[in-house]
Amino acid sequence: MKRITALMLFTFFLINHLTAQLTAEQRIQDSVIGWWNNNRFDNKIKPTADPVQKRRVQICDSIASWVKKSYTPVASLGTFTRYNGDLSYGVSFDAWNVSHDKKWTDEKGRFKPIPEENTTFALEVNTLPAVTPVDFLNHEKDFYFLLEPDEYMTEQTANRRKGIDFKNNSNIRRFITRITNGQNWVMLAPGNISPFVQVTIGEFLDKAEASIAKEKIKEKEIVDRTFSGNGERDKQSRLQAWSHKEKQFEIVLARINKWRQVHKNRLQEPATFRASQQSVLTGFNTDDIDPFSLREIEKQRKQYQIVYKITKEVVEKCKADKPQWITAWWSFAGAADGVKDFELSTAMMENINYEYIYNYFFSPEKINGISYKPANEEQLQQRLNAYRTKYRNSAIEVPNTKPAASGAFFFDDFSTGTIGTTPRNWYHEKGGVEPFTLNKVNGFDGNWLKLSYGRRISPSFLKNPLPQNFKMEFDVVTDPNFTTRTGGNVELILNTEKINQTNQNQESRLFTNGTVLKIEIHSGNDADADNNNYRGLIKASINSSPTVNRENFEEGIYAERPLRAFNGKKNKVHISILVKDGKVTILANEQPVIQPADFKMKYGGACVLCGVPTGRSFNFLAFNNITNNAKETGVYISNIKITKE
């Protein structure tokens, strides 16, 4: 019996160590959360006895079921909203951020969506996501709209998409696909023929001219509403305003004829249109810019819009229950964009069974008696199981024994970690340009944490609050021999608030609540060491809420001093921060650089309180890489130690 008890205790101890590296809040980023059991967002479908509308609602129900079988939200909570419009219907989905904070859980501790922290995607029938209607052409039953060219994207988006070939993915390549900057489309249409028809320049001009009569009616109503009084003054204003509008319409007609003549040899070419299109007056509001011509750079960058239409025959068919086309759309996300959005994007590309959905609507004989199953289902389950078992299979935490020997309140030199991996017991958001990794650095002993650019990293098990009087020390190394004005730059943030980095809602409080001590360490180019171009420095600021030091509506105190001990040749510096009785002193290589008397208010005034308000203790600590040229120059930290003074 004693042996069994000991085994049970060992197992309990082992499981606790296996999961101890991250807090429950931090584990959300890799946790399978699933779908919310509350239907609060699904509130747009109205009861109906009409057979066409009932069939539409049944289709919406099927879409919701298909997507829920193919995508299980990770690091987020899923909801859906069914809708049934005049021409389009379908389901809009959201993946919401969540938190263990009581504010965002119900009475049983279950997650609720955090408002305004959601990623939207959809699978819809007869819909046109991300298009711009050409209002003045849409007086008849044909529907005209503008759409960016396929595969339009900014350079930044193109870089994010590297390594993911959306269009050649085996699950979707036989269907119509579109890339519109950050958005992916998969369109299912009979025979894989797009329902969108490109509009020629000639048709556009003819329709624009034909729209003038109805555009006049619309503009007349605006004038009458603007000057709606019965007095003589309003009557005169209406007459004057309408006289001005009529002259504008004459000018527009002349411009339409002008562009028809200019493009007489191109009238059968597909039209692009660059002007504003809310009305025919704004659509043709200048003689100077040809609305149908493109500059070469616009063609290269695909920075233009193509004119399409949906014919009146197709528009009429959209009123029925049989889909004319189905569109799945979502925002592209790569691994660097974080688990929540990456898993969503992966499921929409790899696991929605587009073949089944196509056949369900357009070749139903192929799926008689066959139920929906996700595409690549085995791969999907493997992915989800990897999330579910991640913390059970993680390495046992190896505690660092040096703090006990040194008597430190906190200590980490990363000696228990493995080179090339992320550090134990530190938390950072997933994503970013490159991972946080442990490295060896030429010329210096021990293990060093290379900081990833654009994301903060903080110790998961920092005891808080820190002592009110303490000394914090750490070493910073920059890659040597950089040619820019500064090399590796590091920011340290201390906050008296308890900040939960996994919750964006709390993350926004980092610089707006409590007292924040922010310290920046910049390495300078040694070639500038003896001139005014040297940029190596230590900068410190203390900001408090409620306000303590305020000058010209600006809160806070600041100090900045040159740091000549840290550059491309002397590429390691030991930083010490001493906080005693609220006063802050910063040392580099044990030499004082910033002292309490150096702090001033924003515009140079003497500080009211030259330090941390009495009674406040720090509860949060994070490092950040603020290197200007982070891709070329790495920056590293180690030997982080906090002692009580």
d(CA 439, CA 434) in angstroms, rounded, equals 14
Write out pLDDT tens, residues 240-272: 999 999 999 999 999 999 999 999 999 999 999
d(CA 93, CA 91) in angstroms, rounded, equals 6
User: pTM, whole model, 2 decimals?
Assistant: 0.67
What is the reported pLDDT for 18?
Answer: 40
Thinking of the domain 402-644, which architecture would CATH place it in? Sandwich (2.60)
CA angle, residues 535, 539, 542, in degrees to nearest 5: 165
Give the relative orientation of helices 354-362 and 51-70 as an angle to the nearest 10 degrees: 160
Contact between 342 and 330 under an 8 Å Cβ cutoff? The reply is: no
Sign of the torsion formed by the C-alpha atoms of 199, 204, 206 and 212: positive
> Which parts of the chain sit beneath pLDDT 50?
1-20, 393-397, 502-509
Q: Where are the beta strands (DSSP E) in 311-420?
A: 326-331, 410-412
Half-sphere exposure of 518 (CA within 13 A, CB side): 17
What is the reported pLDDT for 395?
Answer: 41
- Give one DSSP letter per residue of 104-167, joined into a string: GB-TTS-B-PPTT-EEEEEEEES--TT-EE-GGGTTSSSEEEEEPPTTB--HHHHHHHTT--ST
Read off the amino acid at residue 546.
Answer: P
d(CA 643, CA 620) in angstroms, rounded, equals 16
Q: 45, exposed or middle or buried, with CB in 10 Å at 0-12, 13-18, 19+?
A: middle
What is the reported pLDDT for 3?
Answer: 41
What is the reported pLDDT for 431?
Answer: 57
Q: Where are the alpha helices (DSSP H) in 444-535?
A: 504-507
Residue ranges of the chain that CATH labels 2.60.120.560: 402-644
What is the reported pLDDT for 503?
Answer: 44
Write out pLDDT tens, residues 191-205: 999 999 999 999 999
